Amino acid sequence: MCIIKKGDYKMAYKALYRTYRPSTFEEVAGQQHIVKTIKNALATGKIAHAYLFAGPRGTGKTTMAKLVAKALNCEHGIGCQCNECKNCQAINDGTHPDVLEIDAASNNGVDEIRDLIDKVKYGTILGRYKVYIIDEVHMMTPGAFNALLKTLEEPPEHVIFILATTEPHKILPTILSRCQRYDFSKVSDEDIRERIKVILEKENITYNEDAISLVISLADGGMRDALSILDQVLAYSGDKLNVKDVLDIFALESNEEKIALIESIIHGDVNDVLNRLSSYIERGTDIKRLTNDLLLMLKDVLIYGTSGNTKYLQILKEDDVRDLADEIDNKKAMEMITILMETLKDYKNVTAINPLFEVTLLKLASIHNQPTIRPSVIKEEPKVEEKVEKEPVFERKIEEKPIAKPIIQPEPVVEEEPEEDQLSLFEDDSVAHDDTVLYIKDTEVDDHYEIDDKTMVNIMVTSKKDIKNSLLENWKNLKRLAAHPKLGKTASMLIDGRPLVVSSKAMILEYQSDSVVEKMNLIKNQKDIQNVIRTVFGKKMFVFAVNRKGSISCQQTYMNLLQLGRLPKADTVNIEFVGD
């Protein structure tokens, strides 16, 4: 038989932040101006009757209130915190009859609070002072507020109020004016580090400085948060604190990965950027955090770029910041920071943040695809070839272009248009070549169509919102043809597409599946597709399909041209069908 004695129970786990609430003023991390002023007041007997502790969560307001209560009641004299006398111990345990903690957020009962406040007139039981600690005081009901106000006007000698709040602006001016106010600030990284180390050493945990830095960056100045984060990591990793575990638990990317992402962005390597994004999404990376981290890294680049000094760096190591600053000038760093700041703001207004992040990455990459204008170069060599060399995205596109036959060729002589000349389509004179002919023949050599960038852009600039909307509204009507013996398959394929761009003569549909994209673009299917569109919408329209990547690339091209001021004007673009 097994008898379990009471003392044999493994003690219930107590969170680090509760175990390590500072028990003396000396243990408080940061807030030194407050500690010093209060210690002085206690030493000189200039004790106020009401204090207001305002500041962010988990930065030591309640802690400090309890320390003040102890310093007022310790049996060894005012200002002491022996933590051994009856008063100190009872305050530490939360059982002292003269130190009353009221949580206005959970204790909304007016009567209860009023009752407590009513008792101020009675003398103390154990200590010298009755201390009322009212947490989240801005949450008090108006009735309770009034009761408090009356007492604050004429407090008895032996009563001290300590009000704490994260939202001081919500407190009535009549209350504010009766309190001595202390504003707690976020705890500095260095102070958090020092405190964390004390705790890790007491707990016999081996650690690595970089892992502590990560915890600090997650805590964002909150000491309680830092300790909770530490708790979570240690629950997973045991008695070691290392970088990998912190990254895994909080779904973070390493600094190396973030730097690699920035490198791809500044090299305009959109494919690599998008591949990286897919793996973040797969791993469940905290995208908001990643956005913020990129911002902080670029801030480091900007700080280094403007000051030439590495001592103000927040995240990046010296070598890394130097490498990045070599490639990102201050103006571009500033532009990138602005885009990331906007994105962080916009996250608050969207339900799905991944697509927003995706667009942000593309925007960032597009900054680096703009030709750098150097006045000397412009003066000496204002030639078209110069510009071409500086547009890596377009260059790469051409290398990667499949050899499939373009369906759309600039007029007038289709056969003679050289393939490698496509870059010139985006040169300043592009307006002159804007007529676009959708060239459809049964006798194409390849079996499927491939659309080129220029045509994409032409369809985009001539797109019409109202046509697209009316098409979208009636999209479900395609279902009617789903059972059609000849056109059913095609109609079903169309239903799955998402109209991306719709002009009066052509439409680009986006599909998730590559195999459907391939089928849609088969030359032999175009007739049926047009038949279905004509039957259901009464329009003659060429339909072209792209996958997600194609859709992004097409939007990217559009944005690049827009930023370069080289988009063709809609009224100069003429799209014609040929050959059907």
Residue 44: CB minimum distance to ligand ATP, A = 24
Which partner in Zn ion, ligand ATP, Mg ion, none is near 233 (CB below 5 to 8 A by kind)?
none
Nearer to Mg ion, 182 or 357 (CB): 182
What are the CA-CA distances from residue 204 to residues 13, 189, 201, 234, 455 (Å)?
16, 22, 5, 12, 66
- 88 makes contact, choosing from Mg ion, Zn ion, ligand ATP, none, with CB < 5 to 8 Å by partner type, with Zn ion
Place of tokens 């969170």: 15
Question: Residue 410 binds which one of ligand ATP, Zn ion, Mg ion, none, with CB within 5 to 8 A depending on kind?
Answer: none
Shorter beta-carbon distance to Mg ion: residue 74 or 134: 134
Q: Which is nearer to Mg ion, 60 or 410 (CB)?
A: 60
**66-74, 92-100, 277-285, 335-343 -> range binding Zn ion (CB under 5 A):** 66-74
Q: Do 361 and 367 touch, CB atoms closer than 8 A?
A: no
Q: How many whole angstroms separate alpha carbon 380 and alpha carbon 307?
A: 32
| Site for Zn ion contains 126 (CB under 5 A) | no
Smallest distance from ligand ATP to CB 160, Å: 17
Give me the helices (H) in 20-74, please: 32-44, 61-73
Closest CA to 452 of 385, 399, 410, 406: 406
In the complex, what is the shortest distance from the CB of residue 121 to ligand ATP, in angstroms, rounded to a whole number? Answer: 28
Which of 28, 42, 88, 90 binds Zn ion (CB under 5 A)? It is 88
Q: Which does residue 448 bind out of Mg ion, Zn ion, ligand ATP, none, counting CB within 5 to 8 angstroms by kind?
A: none
Q: Which is nearer to Zn ion, 78 or 564 (CB)?
A: 78
Taking CB within 5 to 8 Å according to partner kind, which of ligand ATP, Zn ion, Mg ion, none is near residue 74? Zn ion
CB 178 to ligand ATP: min, Å? 21
- Our CB check for ligand ATP shows the closer of 29 and 471 to be 29
**Residue 227 contact partner, candidates Mg ion, Zn ion, ligand ATP, none, CB within 5 to 8 A by sort of partner:** ligand ATP
Out of ligand ATP, Mg ion, Zn ion, none, what residue 285 binds, judged by CB under 5 to 8 A for its kind, is none
CA-CA distance, 386 to 48, in Å (whole number)? 73
Which residues of the shown chain bind Mg ion in the complex (CB under 5 A)?
Answer: 61-62, 135
| Binding residues with Zn ion: total (CB under 5 A) | 4
Among 47, 85, 105, 570, interactor with Zn ion by CB under 5 A: 85
Collect all residues with Cβ–Cβ distance below 8 Å to 465 and sequence separation of at least 6: none
Task: Please state, in angstroms and rounded to a whole number, the distance separating the CA atoms of residues 372 and 376.
Answer: 12
Contact 458, 567 (CB under 8 A): no
CA nearest neighbour of 165 among 59, 74, 93: 59
Closer residue to ligand ATP (CB): 105 or 522: 105
- Orientation of helix 287-307 relative to helix 255-266, angle to 10°: 70
Angle between helices 270-283 and 255-266 (to 10 degrees): 150
Shortest approach of ligand ATP to residue 392 CB, angstroms? 49
- C-alpha distances in angstroms, 160 versus 24, 66, 100, 118, 163? 19, 12, 11, 14, 10
Say how many C-beta atoms besides its own lie within 10 A of residue 528's C-beta.
17
Interface ranges with ligand ATP (CB under 6 A) = 17-18, 20-22, 28-31, 57-63, 135, 164, 166, 187, 195, 223-224, 227
| Contact of residue 223 among Zn ion, ligand ATP, Mg ion, none (CB under 5-8 Å per partner type) | ligand ATP
Question: Helices 318-327 and 287-307 sit at what angle, rounded to 10 degrees?
Answer: 80
